[in-house]
Amino acid sequence: MEYGVVYLVLAAAFGLFMAWGIGANDVANAMAPSVGSKVLTIRQAVVVAAIFEFAGAVLAGGEVTATIRSGIVETGALEDSPELLVFGMLAALASAGTWLLIASKRGWPVSTTHSIIGALVGFAIAAVGWSAVQWGVVGTVVASWVVSPVLAGIASFVLFRSVQYLVLDNPDPLRAARLWVPIYIGLTAFVIASVTMVKGLSHLGLELTEAESYGYALAFAAGMWLVGKGLVARISIDPSADRDFHFASVERVFGVLMVVVACAMAFAHGSNDVANAIGPVAAVVSVVTSGGDVGAQAELPLWILLLGGGGIVAGLFMLGHHVIATVGSNITQLTPSRGFACGLATAGTVVFASGFGLPISTTQTLVGAVLGIGLARGIAALNLRVVGGVFMSWLVTLPAGGILAIFFFYLLLLAFGG
C-alpha cells in the first residue's frame, strides 16, 4: 500500500482520540452511582476508574467485537478497493470521537457503541451505497435502545425494593445491613466475574469452558463475601449522625458495597467497550499489514490495547467529570443503597444481554437503572427535564455519527487523491 505507514499512524491517532472520547463520556457508567451517592468524590472516582478501566482494557479487552469489525459494513463489497475500507474505518473513528467530544463538553451521556455504529453506517452509504449496510444488525442495535434501559430499570427497581424490604424496613436496619451487605457484595462479584470470564479472557490464552467460568466466578464471589464481612465489621457507628438521618449508619455500611460495585463496573467496562475504539484500528492494521487483503483476520498487538486503555484514562481525567455529574446526581438523588442497585442492575443487564448476543449500550442501561430507582421512590423523585435531554441526545447519536463519518470519509478521499 502506497501510504501504509501514514494509514497506521492515522489509525493510532484516531483510535487514541476515540478511546479518549470513551473515557470522557462512557466511563461515567461505572463511576456515576458512587459519586452521586457521595461515597467517592469526583477526584477519587477518576483515580479508581483510571486504574480499573486501564486494567480491564489491557488484561481482558482482547476480544475485538465482530460487529465493529465486519458486522455493520458488508466488507466483501470493498475487496477491490481496500483503501476505501481503511478510509472508512479512519472516518468512523474520527467522527465518533468528535461526537463524543461534543457530547462530553455538554454533559450528555451518549452511547459510544451507537456513535461508532452510526459512523460505520454513514461511511458504508458514502463509499458503496445503502446496500453495503447490514440493516438487520442495525435494526437489532436500534431495538436494544428500548430493551436495555427497560431491563435495567426493572432490575434496579427490584434490587432497591429488596434493599427496602430486607434492610431499610427491618426493625433493626443496622444489624440487617451488616448481614445483607456482604451477601450483596458476593452477588456483585459473581455478576462481574462471570461476564469478564465468559466474554473477555480468551485474549490472554485462558480458554475456559462455561462451567469453569461460572465455577471460578462463584469462588471469587465467596472470597469477596468474606472480605465484605471483614470490612463491614470494621465500620464504626456514629449515633449522633443517626439522630440527624435515621439511616446514616446503614448507608455507611452500604458505602463499602458501593466502592466494590464501582471498581468492578470500571474493570468490566474497560474490558468490553474498549473494542469500540480499537476494533477499527485493528481492522486498518490488518488490511495494511496484509498488503490490502480486506478479508484478513484482525491480529491484535498489545500496543493497540495499551493505546485504548491509555486513551480512556486520558479522556476520563480531562472531561469525565461533566457526564459523571449528569448521571450521578442530576437525574435523581442517589444514596449508597440506591447507587448499589443502579450499579448491579446495569452490570446484571449487560451480562444477561451478552448471553443472548444483544449489542446493548452501557450508557442507556445505566440511565434506565437510575430511572428505575427514581420510579421506586415515586415519579416526583425524577428530574424529568434532565431525562428529556438525555433521551434527545440518544436519538441524535446515530445520525450525528453517520453525517460526521461521511464528512471525514470525503475529506480523506480528497487528501489521499482517491
Select from 193, 258, 237, 234 the least CA-distant residue to 44: 258
Q: Which residues contact 265 (CB under 8 A, 6 or more apart)?
A: 29, 30, 192, 343, 346, 347
Residue 317, domain extent: 3-417
Tens of each residue's pLDDT in the chain, 418 residues: 677 788 899 999 999 989 888 887 777 666 776 777 677 887 888 888 888 887 777 766 655 455 555 667 777 767 777 888 889 889 999 998 898 888 877 777 777 777 888 888 888 888 888 888 888 878 877 787 778 888 889 988 898 889 889 988 888 888 888 899 999 999 888 887 887 777 656 656 677 788 888 899 999 999 999 998 988 888 777 666 555 555 777 878 888 888 888 887 777 777 767 777 887 888 888 888 877 676 666 556 778 878 888 888 888 888 777 667 665 555 556 677 777 888 888 877 876 666 666 667 777 787 788 888 877 766 655 666 666 766 776 778 888 889 999 999 999 888 886 5
**pTM of the predicted model over 0.85:** no
C-alpha cell at 138: 442495525
DSSP element (H, E) containing 160: helix 135-163
Residue 222: per-residue pLDDT: 95
Q: What is the total count of domains within the chain?
A: 1
The answer to whether the Cα torsion of 30, 33, 35, 38 is positive or negative is negative
- Other CB atoms within a 10 A radius of the CB of residue 158 amount to 14
Tell me how far apart the alpha carbons of residues 411 and 405 are, in angstroms, rounded to a whole number: 10
Residue 64: per-residue pLDDT: 41
Q: Which residues contact 239 (CB under 8 A, 6 or more apart)?
A: none
Q: Which residues contact 219 (CB under 8 A, 6 or more apart)?
A: none
Tell me how far apart the alpha carbons of residues 257 and 316 are, in angstroms, rounded to a whole number: 23
Tell me how far apart the alpha carbons of residues 293 and 159 are, in angstroms, rounded to a whole number: 50
Taking each helix axis from N to C end, the angle separating 4-25 and 82-106, rounded to the nearest 10 degrees, works out to: 30
